[in-house]
Amino acid sequence: MPRFSANLSWLFTELPFMERFRVAKDAGFDAVEVLFPYDCPAQDMRDQLIWNDLTFVLMNCPPPNATGGPQGFAAIPGLQDRFRRDFDRSLRFADVLKPLHLHIMAGSTDAPDARATFVENLKWAAARAPNRSLTIEPINRHDMPGYYLADFDLAAEILDEVEAPNLSLQFDAYHAHRITGDVMRAWVTHGPRASHVQIAGYPGRHEPAVGEIDYPSFFARLDRDGYKGWVSAEYKPASDTASGLGWLKS
């Protein structure tokens, strides 16, 4: 059975942020991820991780724009300098929080040179942080309109073009099913590139217990394929978080 982590940006939101670490541990999670951990002191979060014996799995890059700008712009032409400045900001947080992975968000664009920009920025980032595990994640355009990286084949091509040992695929089963209609086939084709997995039910993006995705079979496939990374629960609880954790206990 895979090792499960809790996404504290989505789960236990009934509680103040700093209380979610302890509650996640009490619920049975041994790891957590936070999408944008930039609004709290990094050392305070690190203390919570240590006190609750939690592995910090993943955070997103770059920090969100407080003025309502895009969440991610690594593929947006003309913003290379900004990407590099904000990537360094993320590294300063990562130096304290020590995530296993840093997810680089492509951003929303249909510019003809978006791919070249994305590859350029990824090569730079991989060289800038050679000891950091970096990921890219295909995200469906229903949930995030216009997102550049919305195709798993494109992600594979970009990984091959960048050819960096510290850059890999972030495989979100919910996004994979919405993009391809067949999460298992997407995993068989692209899973070997994945260093991190995220899950949610489809449709609705609620608990991974009901819906079109057969998660027991998916988890069994991860085991058969020898996947050793974490599987993060990144979903919108249908009610309060604790009431929906039957899938984890079973």
Concatenate the DSSP letters of all residues of 73-114 into one string: -TTSTT-HHHHHHHHHHHHHHHHHH--SEEEEP--B---TTH
Cβ proximity of 163 and 126 under 8 Å: no
Cβ proximity of 168 and 135 under 8 Å: yes
**Which of 33, 137, 161, 212 does the annotation list as catalytic?**
137
Q: Which amino acid is located at 9 in the chain?
A: S
Whole-number Å distance between alpha carbons of 83 and 136: 15
Predicted pLDDT at 68:
60
- The pLDDT tens digits for 146-173 are 999 999 999 999 999 999 999 999 999 9
Query: Pairing relation of β-strands 194-199 and 230-233?
Result: parallel
170 CB-near residues (< 8 Å, 6+ apart): 58, 101, 103, 135, 136, 137, 194, 195, 196, 197, 198
Predicted pLDDT at 38:
93
> Which residues share a beta bridge with 143?
none
2 CB-near residues (< 8 Å, 6+ apart): 197, 219, 222, 223, 227, 230, 231
Q: Respond yes or no: is residue 14 known to be catalytic.
A: no
Q: Which amino acid is located at 80 in the chain?
A: Q
Residue with tokens 């997103």: 60
**CATH code of 13's domain:** 3.20.20.150
Predicted pLDDT at 208:
97
Q: Flag residues of the chain having pLDDT under 50.
A: none
- The pLDDT tens digits for 40-79 are 999 999 999 999 999 999 999 988 765 566 779 999 999 9
> Which residues share a beta bridge with 170?
196
0.85 exceeded by pTM:
yes
Whole-number Å distance between alpha carbons of 140 and 147: 7
Which structural domain, as residue segments, surrounds residue 191? 3-249
Predicted pLDDT at 62:
86
Q: Respond yes or no: is residue 234 known to be catalytic.
A: yes
183 CB-near residues (< 8 Å, 6+ apart): 173, 176, 177, 202, 213, 218
Predicted pLDDT at 66:
56
Q: How many domains is the chain built from? A: 1
The alpha-helical segments, DSSP class H, found in the chain are 20-27, 42-51, 80-97, 114-128, 152-162, 173-180, 183-190, 215-224, 246-249
122, 125, 131, 133 alpha-carbon torsion, rounded to 10°: -40
